[in-house]
Structure formats: C-alpha cells, structure tokens
Chain A
Amino acid sequence: MNTVLALAHIVLKELYRRKDFYVLFVLTAVITLLMGSIRFFNDPNIVRDLKEICLLLVWVSALIIAVTTAARQIPAERESRTIFPLLAKPVTRGQVVMGKFLGCWLATGAALVVFYLFFGIMSGAHEDRWPVLNYFQAFWLQWMMLAVVIALVLSGSVVFSAPSANITICFCVVLGILLLGGHLNQVALQQGGLLGTITYTVYFLIPHLEWFDIRKFIVFNWPLVPWLDCFWATLYAIIYAAFFLFATWLLFRRKALTV
C-alpha cells in the first residue's frame, strides 16, 4: 500500500505542476461562477436552466480531466523510460497500475469537490437553499462513475500506445454509454432475433454509467436518492473498476516496457 500511495502522490504532483490541468479547471470554475452571478429577474425556470448548464459543464470537465489524465499515465512512463528505474525497485506492475489509478481518481475527486463547491455556492445564492446531502450524493456517484472511466482508460492505455487514440476511443465509448446505454434494452426488443440477442448481451455487459447521473435530482430539487441505492451503485462501480484494473494488470504484466 505504501508503494501505491507513493505512486499516487507522484501522479498528483505531476498534475499539480502541469499547466494544462489548470486551464480547464479555472475555466470551468470561472464559467460556473459567472453564470451564477447573473440574475434573470429571479425567474425559477431560468435559474433551473442555469443549474442544468453548470452541472453539464461540471460533468464534461470532470470527464475530460479523468480521461486525459489517465490516458497518458502508463504510455508516458514507457515513453520517457521512467518505468525502468521504477521497476528496478521492489515494485510490481500491479502496484504501478494501482498507483496510477489511485492518483488519477484522487485528482479528479479534488477537482470535483471544487466544482461542486462553486456550484453549491452559486445555486445557494440564487435559491436560498443549501441541500448539502444532495450535492454530496451527486458528487459521490459522479466520482464513482469516474473510477470506472479511469480504470477503463488505463486498460485502453496499455492496448493503444498512442494516448490520443485511446482518448478518442474512450470518449466515444463513455459518451455512447451515457447517451445510449440506457436505451439499448428497448432497441433489443424492437430488433428481435440474433441482433436483438447481441444488443441485449451488450446491454448487460457494459457498465451503465448513466445510472450515476442524478443531475435531475439537483436541478428539480427532488428529494435524496435512497442511501441503499447509493450503496448498490458504489458496489457496482467498484466491481467494474476492479474488472478493468484486473484487465489492465493482465495486459501490462507481460507488456514490453519500451514503446
């Protein structure tokens, strides 16, 4: 665990020292604050729309940070050959994978905390409501979803040596699941036959990332999601993240270290 934490710390330090990370981070924070500061005659519909746009921005930004950060971790280690002095120490490739995952996940978690803080302040100032627990649920479920995404991207980074190819493919897969994943069962019903069976199989195999999206609960001020459902969603995310991390380890364990 000591080694995994040390590796995660290096990932965080690199992000902290890279300038490009701040561009997206500051941009999202500024847009969220700016939109929040505008008052449109206190019309509740406009406030709701603003909340929706800000939450979409938070989702997109967090996804970009997670995917781009995770995609370059292992290829960068191989390309710059920093993996050699690292693996010459008592470090296993499994620990490298876990350290990279933990570092990326903590980094996106930190970014999410700040995003939700801005969002909370903005919407609280407009509505005079402070539903802290609702925000916590939204943050937690989104963070869990990002764990699955990061693990998926890491496994992609072992398969595709070019991070750009991995980023593009992962974005397509994640956005595809978020937008269409929930409707695949209905599509399967309409198709029938072999194609329907295949679509059904895909529906049951893919990680349903859309289940973690509770933005509507925040936008329409709905009550809390039952905590038991949150627990099942967390467990679901852990299982999928563990599966992708295991796949990453399997692929990376015998992979040549040079690109």
Chain B
Amino acid sequence: MVIEIRNLIVEYKGRGFGQSSTVAVKDLNLKIREGEVFGFLGPNGAGKTSTMQVLLGFREATAGDAFLFGVNVREPIARQRIGYLPEMTYYYKFLTAEELLRFYAKIFRIPRAETVKRVEFLLKLVELESARKRPIGSYSKGMQQRVGLAQALINNPDLLILDEPTSGLDPLGRMKVREIIQRLKNEGKTVFFSSHELGEVETVCDRVAIIHQGALKVEGRVDDLVRRYQTNLEQIFLNIVGYEPPLPS
C-alpha cells in the first residue's frame, strides 16, 4: 500500500478561552495502491488540506495513523519517496530555478552527476530551460507553478502529492500538468491529488474519494461510481455536498 490512513481524526483546538475545538477530519480510513491516480475531492473546508497536512508531516493527527510506503508519516524518512506540489507557489524567490532544484537534490542526497542530469531533464520537461538563470521572483505565475512541478519531481518520486495542481493555470498550463500526470501514471507512479476541477478528475483519475464535513462520503473507481449513480462525477459531488439547484422560474 502506498498510502494508508487509519481512523484519522484531526481536531483544531479553539484559540480563545472557552472556545470549543473543531473537528476537521472524522475517523477517516483510506488506502491507495501502487500505480493509482487518486482524486481526493471535497468542498472548501471539507478536511482535504488537513488530511494532506498530516500525510506530509506538517501537522500531528489528534488520533489515528497515516503511513506512506508502510512508514509512519511522523518519520521524516517517510517523505523520501514522495514529491509534493503545493497549491500556491511557495519557493525562495531569490534563487534561480536551477539553484532551487539543486538545493532540493542536495536534501535528497542525490549524487552530483545525477543531479546535473536530473535538473537538465526537469527544466526541459517543464519548459524552463531559457529562464533557468533568472530568479524565481521574476517568473510569471504559470512559470512558478512549473518550477513547483519540477521540484516535486526532483527525486523521481514513487508518489506524487498534488494540491490543486491546475488552480490558476491557463488552459495550456492545465494541459501540460495533465500530460505530466498521465506520463507518471504510464511510468507506474502513484499520484494523489486534490482538485475542484471535476471534469479533469474524471479524465485523469482511476479512483476518487469525496470527503464532506470531515467524513468520507464516497470512495471508488470513477467508472463504477458513474455507473452506480447513473450520472457524472460533478452531479455525484453536488448531491453529496447537499447542493439543491434553484427551482425553475
């Protein structure tokens, strides 16, 4: 199992005196197998980010456990084989794309000769060869997102965690991200991503899970769900979150 989440509970304590705590994730259980492209869906505030934060070791779970490749996420080594692309571009603006990739390669202890090859390959993949010597601060949003994708792939990860990978990208940028996800899938890598683009999820994902108010509502293969509910993924999602269409006037 690549990702295993067991009875995960995430609670946020109230900040002020007497404020009650908020449960962000309620007893979540999830298993993601090798080679799957898994879509993690839910409306804003559903608990997607909290779950991802636990998986990435940013936050401690209130209860339950999460494992990456069988290693508890509390251990930093659990993150050795993963790549992570955050929703927004959070990179050192004073570094160039090349320097950023070299820095992350150093953290993964990738040998120097291999780093050179890997950096060349990734800059070509995300089409940033001509801008490699420019500071990231001078890049457009699309370019910064591409640097993000390159840094997520620096260690040739077996699992890629993508948080809203196409948000804020133009159609060309979205297409590029989709192509890369497809390419990773063909290479047998596992991709776990959250997205609001349900059409995109339907095209790319093998399996999806829909989470609402911290609880898992639906999980399964995309084609099975579509068959079972006799409608498309977007409609399933809207039914689960309790959306009622306005009455015709």
Binding partners A and B: yes
**A residues neighboring B (CB under 8 Å):** 2-3, 6, 9-10, 13-14, 17-18, 80-85, 87-92, 254, 256-257
Min CB gap B248→A, angstroms = 44
**14 A–B contacts from the bound complex (CB under 8 Å):** A10-B95, A13-B94, A13-B95, A14-B94, A17-B94, A80-B93, A82-B92, A84-B56, A85-B86, A88-B82, A88-B161, A89-B79, A90-B77, A90-B107
**B residues neighboring A (CB under 8 Å):** 56-60, 76-80, 82, 84, 86, 88, 90-95, 99, 103-104, 106-109, 148, 151, 161
Chain B residues within 8 Å of A9, by CB: 103
B90 and A87 form a contact (CB under 8 A): no
Min CB gap B56→A, angstroms = 5
A2 and B88 form a contact (CB under 8 A): no
Chain A residues within 8 Å of B108, by CB: 89-90
Chain A residues within 8 Å of B80, by CB: 90
Chain B residues within 8 Å of A3, by CB: 106-107
B56 and A2 form a contact (CB under 8 A): no
- B52 to chain A: closest residue by CB: A88
* Bound Cα distance A3, B108 (Å): 8
- B79 to chain A: closest residue by CB: A90
* Bound Cα distance A81, B93 (Å): 12
Q: 7 closest A-B pairs (Cβ-Cβ)?
A: A88-B84, A81-B90, A6-B106, A90-B76, A17-B94, A88-B56, A90-B80
Indicate the member of A9, A81, A82, A85 with the most B CB atoms within 10 Å.
A85
Chain B residues within 8 Å of A89, by CB: 79, 104, 107-108
Chain A residues within 8 Å of B86, by CB: 81, 84-85, 88
* Bound Cα distance A257, B57 (Å): 11
* Bound Cα distance A145, B231 (Å): 69
Chain A residues within 8 Å of B151, by CB: 85
Chain B residues within 8 Å of A18, by CB: 94
A85 and B95 form a contact (CB under 8 A): no
What total of A-B pairs shows CB separation below 8 Å? 69
Min CB gap B10→A, angstroms = 13
Min CB gap A223→B, angstroms = 45
Chain B residues within 8 Å of A90, by CB: 76-80, 107-108
Min CB gap A75→B, angstroms = 14
Known: A85-B148, A88-B58. 9 other contacts (CB 8 A): A13-B94, A87-B56, A87-B57, A88-B79, A88-B161, A89-B107, A90-B78, A256-B59, A257-B59
* Bound Cα distance A243, B148 (Å): 36
A84 and B90 form a contact (CB under 8 A): yes
Indicate the member of A3, A6, A14, A17 with the most B CB atoms within 10 Å.
A6
A254 and B109 form a contact (CB under 8 A): no
Chain A residues within 8 Å of B93, by CB: 80
Chain A residues within 8 Å of B99, by CB: 13
* Bound Cα distance A83, B58 (Å): 9
Min CB gap B176→A, angstroms = 20
Min CB gap B69→A, angstroms = 12
* Bound Cα distance A217, B93 (Å): 44
A2 and B58 form a contact (CB under 8 A): no
* Bound Cα distance A89, B108 (Å): 8
* Bound Cα distance A90, B108 (Å): 7
Chain A residues within 8 Å of B109, by CB: 2
- B80 to chain A: closest residue by CB: A90
B60 and A254 form a contact (CB under 8 A): yes
* Bound Cα distance A91, B75 (Å): 10
Chain A residues within 8 Å of B148, by CB: 85
* Bound Cα distance A13, B76 (Å): 26
Chain A residues within 8 Å of B107, by CB: 2-3, 6, 89-91
Chain A residues within 8 Å of B59, by CB: 256-257
- A18 to chain B: closest residue by CB: B94
Indicate the member of A80, A84, A87, A91 with the most B CB atoms within 10 Å.
A84
Chain B residues within 8 Å of A17, by CB: 94
- B161 to chain A: closest residue by CB: A88
* Bound Cα distance A18, B161 (Å): 33
Min CB gap A148→B, angstroms = 28
- A15 to chain B: closest residue by CB: B94
Min CB gap B147→A, angstroms = 10
B58 and A257 form a contact (CB under 8 A): yes
* Bound Cα distance A168, B227 (Å): 64
* Bound Cα distance A34, B79 (Å): 54
